[in-house]
Amino acid sequence: MSFFNFDERLEALDKKALSEVAPIFEYVEGITEYNQQKVLKAFIDNRVSEADLGISTGYGYGDSGRDKLDSIMAACMGAEDALIRHSFASGTHTLTVALFGILRPGDKVLCLTGRPYDTIVGVFGIDGESDGSLRDFGIEYNEIPLLSDGTPDINSIKSELSWGKYKMAYIQRSRGYSLRPSLTIGKIKELCEAVKSVSPDTVIMVDNCYGEFVEKEEPCQVGADIIAGSLIKNPGGGIAPTGGYIAGKKKYIEMCANRMTCAGVGREVGATLGHNRELYMGLFSAPHVVGEALKTAIYSAKLFELLGFEATPKFDEKRADIIESIILGNSERLVAFCQGMQSGAPVDSFVIPEPWDMPGYTDKVIMAAGAFTLGSSIELSADAPLRPPYAAWLQGGLNFHSGKTGVLCAVQSMIDKGVLRI
């Protein structure tokens, strides 16, 4: 029995796609099991108890649950230390705390992965217009453009670092609103080795958003000094209602903690206000949920390939994050896709998304995001700026079966609106 009125031809393509992605799903299950055991072992080793899930108020002194969660996050990320807090407002905020925590006036930052995504541009002050940016504090930004195939230019990176005296090398793991390949752990390792070979004192920072638990290793295990990400993406498991994390070498975590609160106090304060339970549960569920999101992305890639569209990465390519880019070719298909996906969401399914001027972005953006947590990217969502090649960036899916249904709703909307024939 079907609860949705899908076109018979679409249902046939659905079955074909499921058949062809089955071997890839098996590979994903292996990674999921490995990472789930890793997280479980971290919980056991840190002797998590019911008391750790409780509430602290005021200054939050002596919150053992908060401190223990830091240790668990560090273990999961293969790092010396970590901060995981509900008080980080977003992934960009978390990255900003780390950047301001480590960098000082007169320091220089080199981005190894070309122009970063839209919301971090203002943090660096790249366009010279953001009040309170790193640029305002005398921190110089430079970037190495990507090669024509979208990969980092290792030779140019080494050449620039060999004489530039950069305090930080910044790596964006995910593609953002671009079609360049996201960075695998293997590629991040190559970048880290290149940096340290010519500038061993340069701090390597990785924006790890969308990449946690996609592979068996994390960037700190292959040479990154500091990483950061959002809890309403992968590591929150769809349960954390807000927040972010920073992980890496202990000396840098202490610097970030002093920026997170204030110098001389650092991580010793910060009431958890009852959020510990959600953050613990979210982190524990994260490997499984990331696996479900990966399945949704792999299935989507195959289905749209069968429909005649280009999807990147391809369904059988090695993945570095949970994002799937589907190139739809024109604004009409893009809008229909997002509106259809919204119609298959558990929350706000009746809402019709329209393109709008979103703060921090240069083009109008359309978003399909019927999520339990506002803006959550680990729940099934799709968003895109209205600019060529009119690609939809799809991510998330708390469970594969609902994720697949949402994708089918997106295709059916394109059929119903007359912008797709199958």
Domain ranges in the chain with CATH number 3.90.1150.60: 8-35+286-416
Distances (CA, A) of 81 to 176, 178, 226, 232: 27, 32, 10, 21
State percent of the chain over pLDDT 70.
99
DSSP state of 269: -
The answer to whether the predicted template modeling score (pTM) of the entire model surpasses 0.85 is yes
Nearest Cα neighbor of 223 from 203, 250, 253, 242 is 203
Nearest Cα neighbor of 222 from 247, 261, 192 is 192
Helix axis angle, 331-343 relative to 400-416, nearest 10°? 130
CATH number for the region 8-35+286-416 comes to 3.90.1150.60
Predicted confidence (pLDDT) at residue 348 exceeds the cutoff of 90: yes
For 364-377, what is the mean pLDDT? 92
Kindly indicate the confidence band of residue 212, based on its pLDDT and cuts at 50, 70 and 90.
very high
Kindly indicate the confidence band of residue 168, based on its pLDDT and cuts at 50, 70 and 90.
very high
Are 98 and 168 in contact by the 8 Å Cβ rule? The answer is no
Predicted confidence (pLDDT) at residue 233 exceeds the cutoff of 90: yes
Mean pLDDT score across all residues of the chain: 95
The size of the chain, in residues, is 422
366 forms beta bridges with 384
Predicted confidence (pLDDT) at residue 129 exceeds the cutoff of 80: no
Domain ranges in the chain with CATH number 3.40.640.10: 38-283
DSSP state of 240: -
pLDDT value for 163: 87
143 forms beta bridges with 111
pLDDT in tens, 4-57: 999 999 999 999 999 999 999 999 999 999 999 999 999 999 999 999 999 999
Top-level CATH class of 38-283? alpha beta
pLDDT value for 356: 87
pLDDT value for 362: 76
Distances (CA, A) of 361 to 119, 329, 393: 7, 20, 15
> What gap in Å lies between CA 386 and CA 392, rounded to an integer?
9
